Structure 1
Amino acid sequence: MTFFFSKRFSSLFLCQLLLLSLPSTQAAPASNLFREYIGAEFNNVKFSDVPINPIVDFHFILSFAIDYTTSSSPSPTNGEFNVFWDADNLSPSQVSSIKTAHGNVKVALSLGGDSVGNGYAYFNPSSVDSWVSNAISSLTKIIQQYNLDGIDIDYEHFSADPSTFAECIGKLISGLKGNGVISFASIAPFDDDQVQSHYLALWRKYGHLIDYVNFQFYAYDKGTTVSQFLNYFDTQSSNYNGGKVLAGFISDGSGGLSPGGGFFTACSRLKSQGKLNGIFIWSADDSKSNGFRYERQSQALLASPH
């Protein structure tokens, strides 16, 4: 009797193991992550202006912290970051208030951006070790002062090769996560040869540390169609293989697939296929003029069960 029970139990256990090892035929569940850049254009937009659906995971991304001086002629500081967003309207106390009022809200800061002062903001380290040391120190102070949760990497111009960029940013993320300063990190590349060479070098070596890819699909031509967008999405999901590539648009409609041109149709298709990892918008500053209608629509789509 004992022998029979053991054999039967073993057979059941083996069957369970075989079932567990079979690939799932179901699509992965879609994410309900919504992210929005805020503060770069000094339009007096506040966190509290933006509608927040309680069903979604909501990330505000402060834009930008830049390793440049804050003088009238900004110059690189080798990893010593300063606040360049609208800190009067997006202050530490306002971060605390919005997070207290909405338990589903987290707040991050984005590094770099396109420009500073009247010129481009370049990634321009003196050396890997010195830049990383300065960056961890200066960003830790800002992140703790503002009670932030994560960082986003949005350098778009480079005075360093892809390998140096990969080492600096990879070690920065590793250091901040290892010290418990941040809980997530994202990158914001777009389809440009120089930009992609730097971010793909980072992805190849440190992709396991990067939680989200805010791929700037709005950098593609204005008038992008739904089918083109879906092809771009598949291409970049392949480039950043294994990453959570988010669908994104620019709220002023100046590039890519616009909200009025089929963006939500594309997102619905991605969602039905289990590919929609979330939606992000550039930016709340621009959306203020249209009453944040697309923020509401994005979050409603993410919150819907189908």
Structure 2
Amino acid sequence: MGVKANLFADYIGALFKGVKFSDVPINPAVEFHFILAFAIDYTTESGSPVPTDGNFNIFWDTGNLSPEAVQAIKAQHTNVKVALSLGGDSVDSQPAEFKPSSVSSWVDNAVSSLSKIIEEYHLDGIDIDYEHFQANNDTFAECIGQLITRLKQSNAISFASIAPYDDQEVQSHYLALWNKYEHVIDYVNFQFYAYDSSTTISQFIGYYNTQASQYSGGKVLVSFSSATGAGGLLPENGFFEACRMLKQNGELKGIFVWCADWSKANGFKYEIESQDLLAS
């Protein structure tokens, strides 16, 4: 897949705030990815969340973000692709843990269950956002690497991203995955909003350079959170100025936002500004 440097991505559906694809402004001059959040290999049928060893269930707002809604937004905007994100921070307020019984069982279950969801929802890609681990680095790398490889080989997906942040345990798992399977990973959706809210423009550029070198050769996207009280470099504190600096140096690969559910409250003004910057 040809990868442009004007990719904009927006996570959507995790917070059940009634946001629809059609609510979000879409600039025709960018490559636009919606990322449905989340599909998780857990079940809540018995009440409390229980891991399912790779059998994924949907935990996003299916009432507003249905298969029909995916088809409609893609038909209306030819520059839109839709992915789903795996894992996330929590399921029913419990940590969503990566907990395979074995590599082979988890991969087989994940390929089977995700292929069905991807087909039903007319999806184009997957994003990996596990943040809690009951498995070592090598097991995580093999499970996720083999999953992405098999989904690409079957043409179920055309792209894959990972969503790490600057935490020692998180980074050790994702760098193990990157070092072995970077050839099947198209984007690194790095959670720059996990840094402190006092982050300055120069610190942000430094953080970007650090992660671009750690995920060497990867397309590292910059990011902000539209939540009230979010961390990282905020749009009102110089995020777009930092983006323009990266763009002038040919280093801006794309921007993503966590998340459309929060952005709805301010009319998606930063989604608009992000896309205008990428398209300029």
Q: Please state which band the TM-score falls in when normalised by the shorter chain.
A: over 0.9
RMSD: 0.9
Match of 1:67 among 26, 34, 41: 41
Which residue pairs with 2:5 in the alignment? 31
Which residue pairs with 1:295 in the alignment? 271
Q: Which digits, 9 at most, give the CA deviation of each residue in 1:12-54, with x for residues without a partner?
A: xxxxxxxxxxxxxxxxx97110000000000000000000000
Any idea what SS the aligned residue of 1:34 has? strand
Any idea what SS the aligned residue of 1:246 has? strand
Q: Which digits, 9 at most, give the CA deviation of each residue in 1:176-209, with x for residues without a partner?
A: 0000000000000000000000000000000111
| Counterparts of 1:262 and 1:31, CA distance in 2 | 21
| Counterparts of 1:218 and 1:33, CA distance in 2 | 18
Any idea what SS the aligned residue of 1:60 has? strand
Match of 2:207 among 229, 232, 241: 232
TM-score (norm 2): 0.97
Which residue pairs with 1:54 in the alignment? 28
Report % sequence identity: 68
- Equivalent residue letter for 2:34: F
Q: Which digits, 9 at most, give the CA deviation of each residue in 1:235-266, with x for residues without a partner?
A: 00000000000010001251000000000000
Which residue pairs with 1:89 in the alignment? 64
Which residue pairs with 1:110 in the alignment? 85
- Equivalent residue letter for 1:50: V
CA contact (8 A) 1:30 1:271 kept: no
| Counterparts of 1:82 and 1:182, CA distance in 2 | 18
Which residue pairs with 2:110 in the alignment? 135
Q: Which digits, 9 at most, give the CA deviation of each residue in 1:32-84, with x for residues without a partner?
A: 10000000000000000000000000000000000000322110000000000
| Counterparts of 1:83 and 1:70, CA distance in 2 | 11
| Counterparts of 2:103 and 2:160, CA distance in 1 | 19
User: Following TM superposition, by how much is the alpha carbon of 1:118 offset from its aligned partner in structure 2, in angstroms?
Assistant: 2.3
Structure 1 segments of 4+ aligned residues over 2 angstroms from their partners: none
The runs of 5 or more residues in structure 2 that have no matched partner are none
Any idea what SS the aligned residue of 2:50 has? coil
User: Following TM superposition, by how much is the alpha carbon of 1:289 offset from its aligned partner in structure 2, in angstroms?
Assistant: 0.3
CA contact (8 A) 1:123 1:157 kept: yes
- Equivalent residue letter for 1:264: F
CA contact (8 A) 2:192 2:232 kept: yes
CA contact (8 A) 2:95 2:132 kept: yes
Tell me whether 1:280 sits opposite 2:244 in the alignment.
no
Q: Which stretch of structure 1 is more off in the superposition, 250-259 or 61-70?
A: 250-259
The runs of 5 or more residues in structure 1 that have no matched partner are 1-28
CA contact (8 A) 1:107 1:149 kept: yes
Which residue pairs with 1:259 in the alignment? 235
User: Following TM superposition, by how much is the alpha carbon of 1:223 offset from its aligned partner in structure 2, in angstroms?
Assistant: 2.0
Which residue pairs with 1:22 in the alignment? none
Which residue pairs with 1:244 in the alignment? 219
Match of 2:97 among 118, 122, 126: 122
Instruction: Name the structure with the higher strand share.
Output: 2
Where do 1:114-193 residues align within 5 Å?
114-193=89-168
| Counterparts of 1:83 and 1:241, CA distance in 2 | 32
- Equivalent residue letter for 1:46: K
CA contact (8 A) 1:79 1:134 kept: yes
Which residue pairs with 1:7 in the alignment? none
Larger Rg: 1
Change (3 A) 1:199 1:97: same
TM-score (norm 1): 0.89
